[in-house]
Amino acid sequence: MNRIIGLTGGIGSGKSTVAGMLAARGAVVIDADRVAHEVYAPGTEGFDKVVARFGDGVLDDDGAVDRKALGGIVFGDPEALADLNAIIHPLVRKEVARRLLEAARTRPDATIVIEAALMTETGWTGGAGALWVVITDPEVALGRLVRDRGMSEAEARLRIGAQATNEARRKHATVLIENNGTLAELDAAVVAYGVVAMGAGEAHILNLCVRADLRGRSVGRQMLALLLEHPVLGLRLELLRGLVRRELPQHLVQSGVAHTPKKNRKKVKTK
């Protein structure tokens, strides 16, 4: 049976990096943002509707939609952005649903990740599965966009401002990953949340057992002893227990991957 994860996060949050980490561990990733670009390619229904609404000025020399020109119109103009979303979102949902059914048919036991930037804004959580939300501090995201994508600071701020806030995304998250640190810390968070081999329920049970064990509770230790004998869960539990026992990045502690008693907590600065 497939496990479905909706994966979302704002621009510069590292959402696509998380998707890549999941794909490297065997997940099928459906990139809804890439689909969104495909549904207004020349010759499509989306192309005709975009040109009808925004004019020939959004086309490049080859007759395709110039994403930068289109973005210059809609980012900073809520009405224009709403019109674009009304054109694109129904087409994206239809195509993502088709790809989801195809992935479920060809890989019935795989984890399927639906990656999209605007899940919380549109009320779409990627189906009946869990919703993973990747957030980062706005100033960290700003620095990444300027450094890694070559955006001007003004353009980056417009893009960030046009999307949902971190506070709004937190309300919808099944799993919350705060990505203000290194790639190694981000990968540790992905692993600690169960990666692909564990279902959400299994990951939650193992997490509770580890917490109970660290607090010295006998029930937690007894359950750990039993679970460690399981051929699959035992391996994952050893990994999870190792992550929890060592010095964890503060964002993992805050997001609930591990419980650290207040007297033992240390402030850990991430870049």
Per-residue pLDDT of the chain in tens (271 residues, 90 and over written 9) = 678 888 999 999 999 999 999 998 888 999 998 999 999 999 999 999 999 999 999 999 999 999 989 988 998 889 999 999 999 989 998 999 899 999 999 998 888 999 998 787 776 655 556 889 999 999 999 999 999 999 999 999 988 988 889 998 888 888 889 999 888 888 888 877 754 444 444 555 555 555 555 555 554 555 555 555 544 444 445 545 554 444 344 444 444 444 333 444 334 344 4
Q: Show the 3-state SS of 46-59.
A: HHHHHHHHHCHHHE
* Count of beta carbons in the 10 Å neighbourhood of residue 82: 11
Using the structure block, give the residue that is written with the tokens 């980062």.
136
Rounded Cα–Cα distance for residues 80 and 77 (Å):
5
The reply to whether the predicted model has a pTM over 0.85 is no
Backbone angles phi, psi at 206, to 5 degrees: -65, -40
Element (H, E) at 12: none
